[in-house]
Amino acid sequence: MRYTAAGAPRKFDVHCSILFTDLPLLERPAAAAAAGFEAVEFWWPFGENPVPGDKEVDAFVSAIADSGVRLIGLNFIDLVPAGKGLASIPGREREFRDNIDVTVGIAERLGCRSLNALYGNRIPGADPAAQDALALENLALAAAAAARIDAQVVLEALNSIESPDYPITSAARAVEVIDAVGAPNLRFLCDLYHLARMGADLHGVIAEFAPYIGHVQIADAPERSRPGTGTLDFASLFAALDAVGYDGWIGLEYKDPEHDWSWMR
């Protein structure tokens, strides 16, 4: 959905892994289109399976293509028993690397140009330094694969309240990892909800790390609800994004069983 306020056009996409959850997953892109949206994004849609079968992949691709919306964001395999992603998980390197080809293949078929690689939780008994070294290697591999289709990989900071074992909890730490990898198409996923839960100065984050921002996601804090139901001032946050020249999609990654879009007006 495109919305213009004070002369600044903004592009909102629906995160169909958290919105329209009253519908089967494959029906959600069509629901987003019926609501007036042009684009959607998803977490990894195949559960714990890093390499789904052709029929599953084809069904997912068709659900999006047939609905007439664009896929603008997709996660690499994410919600697995080890935690939030596999990039830093020792012993599961093959799963993550096999998943790279599948995820990039889906993105290529649908014209998706932003892929989210969750870092992975700290694992009891594992050496944090070894996990970090593995993450750098895996993120470099993911970025190289994404570059083949002119796509970016984004790295997200989560809040430690909901994800206490996830080590990337600030924009600064995410950018440290991005710089360490050194891939030009590895960018920062600026999720304003997670940063707000960590007490970050959101305007300061946007201003300081604007050159790294590859995608933006929003939800109101503290309940991860739709804008206007919590504490965040989205008018000023959108103005801050305008001020640094961000003109990409803004992902609606919040919970709202009412599907009320009136806040945009």
Catalytically active residues, by annotation: 156, 253
Structure tokens at 63: 């659900």
11: β partners: 2, 249
Structure tokens at 151: 């796509």
Q: Distance between alpha carbon 117 and the CA centroid of its chain, in Å?
A: 8
Q: What angle do CA 243, 169, 249 make, to 5 degrees?
A: 40
Structure tokens at 204: 């300061």
**Dist. CA 210–CA 207, nearest whole Å:** 6
Residue that the structure tokens 């998943």 belong to: 99
Nearest to 254 by CA among 222, 218, 230, 228: 218
- Whether the ω angle into residue 128 lies within 30 degrees of 0, i.e. cis, is no
C-beta separation of 206 from 197 below 8 A: no
SS3 142: helix
E strand or H helix at 71: strand 70-75
